[in-house]
A and B are shown apart, each in its own frame.
Chain A
């Protein structure tokens, strides 16, 4: 498995995604997952959020965050199944599901971020 030429690229995506996820997800999840729904902070107005999300730099940054986080998930989850459940014999099914899921999610992220007015 280690000799496949694509493996180093997958590890690179894994670590880039791990870094971005560690740096950016906690604050975003605190704000949108807890602070706004629970009323600790008043949520930003719709117009303000459109302006922030629509900024080109923010769009590109969020696209990278989504894509690399998904590839981070794909790579790590594949090994979780491999080490945790010892189902290496299902690799031919697991690999397309993990990396395919990451690719589908990345396309969806690109479409949704591109579509913001």
Chain B
């Protein structure tokens, strides 16, 4: 699209306004949208981080302690802290959005949205407690 298309009779000119790359900075809801989109990068980072942990545990006790001291380095800690804030943002917005994506009917009546969101939060608390219990020694 570097050159203008050749003139043709009865053919209207294209109307294609250029959008700025930073279009989402003008409104707060658009910024939130882009931040939520960016959270996926940190989800992917977590998978890498977790698989490194799994690999270290498989290699043996020394590798496991080396992994923990690597995780304690300032750069890793900072990355994980930023990741956690993005992923919690993802989780909260995801749970709040579920009622709009998921319509549950019980005995012919629609289950109210806040109830669906509340059940998500309940599942969050229960699963987090279960994971902590398993990891910390049951």
Contact = CB atoms under 8 A, between A and B. Distances in A.
Main secondary structure of the interface of A (DSSP, over half): helix
Contact of B43 (A27, A33, A34, A72): A72
- Of the listed residues B47, B48, B95, the one surrounded by the most CB atoms of chain A closer than 10 A to its CB is B47
| Chain B interface extent, by class | 35 or more
B91 A36 contact: no
Nearest to B38: A80
A86 B21 CA distance: 7
Contacts of B49: 29, 32-33
Contacts of A79: 37
Contact of B72 (A19, A27, A38, A105): A38
Contact of B94 (A18, A46, A84): A18
A104 B61 CA distance: 27
13 contacts: A22-B94, A29-B80, A29-B83, A33-B84, A37-B72, A44-B136, A49-B57, A77-B40, A77-B41, A84-B24, A85-B21, A105-B48, A115-B58
Interface of B: 19, 21, 24, 34, 37-41, 43-44, 46-51, 53-55, 57-58, 60-61, 64-65, 68-69, 71-72, 76-77, 80-81, 83-84, 87-88, 90-91, 94-95, 101, 123-124, 127-128, 131-132, 134-137
